C-alpha cells in the first residue's frame, strides 16, 4: 500500500469519511465529528501506519487533512 493510501485509510477509518470527500478543506473547521477524541485516534492511526511518534506539538496541530500532510513531511514521509 502506498503512503497516500495509508493516509487516506486513516481518515476513512477514524471519521467514516469517503475517500472522495477528502481534500485540503477537510478538517476541524468543516467536519462536525472532528473532536479531541477523533483527533487523537487519527494521530494513533497515522503513528501506527507510518511507524512514527508525533511530538506533542504536532499532535495539537493535527487539525486538518492538509496539516496532516505537512506534518508527515516533517517526519520524512512523502505522500
Q: What angle do CA 17, 51, 70 make, to 5 degrees?
A: 60
pLDDT of res. 62: 98
CA dihedral 13, 40, 59, 61 (to 10 degrees): 70
The whole-number pLDDT of residue 59 equals 98
Q: What is the pLDDT of residue 69?
A: 98
- Position 70 scores a pLDDT of 97
Q: What is the mean pLDDT of each run of 10 residues along the chain (79 residues)?
A: 97 97 97 97 98 98 98 97
Matching residue, cell 477528502: 22
20-44 burial by CB neighbour count: b if 16+ within 10 A, else e? eeeeeebbeeebeebeeebbeebbe
The CATH number that domain 3-74 falls under is 1.10.1200.10
Backbone angles phi, psi at 64, to 5 degrees: -165, 165
What's this model's pTM, rounded to 2 decimal places? 0.95
Amino acid at each position: 500500500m502506498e503512503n497516500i493510501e495509508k493516509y487516506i485509510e486513516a481518515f476513512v477509518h477514524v471519521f467514516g469519511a469517503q475517500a472522495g470527500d477528502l481534500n485540503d478543506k477537510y478538517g476541524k473547521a468543516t467536519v462536525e465529528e472532528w473532536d479531541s477524541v477523533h483527533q487523537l485516534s487519527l494521530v494513533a492511526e497515522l503513528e501506527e501506519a507510518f511507524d512514527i511518534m508525533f511530538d506533542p506539538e504536532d499532535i495539537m496541530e493535527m487539525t486538518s487533512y492538509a496539516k496532516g500532510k505537512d506534518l508527515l513531511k516533517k517526519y520524512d514521509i512523502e505522500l
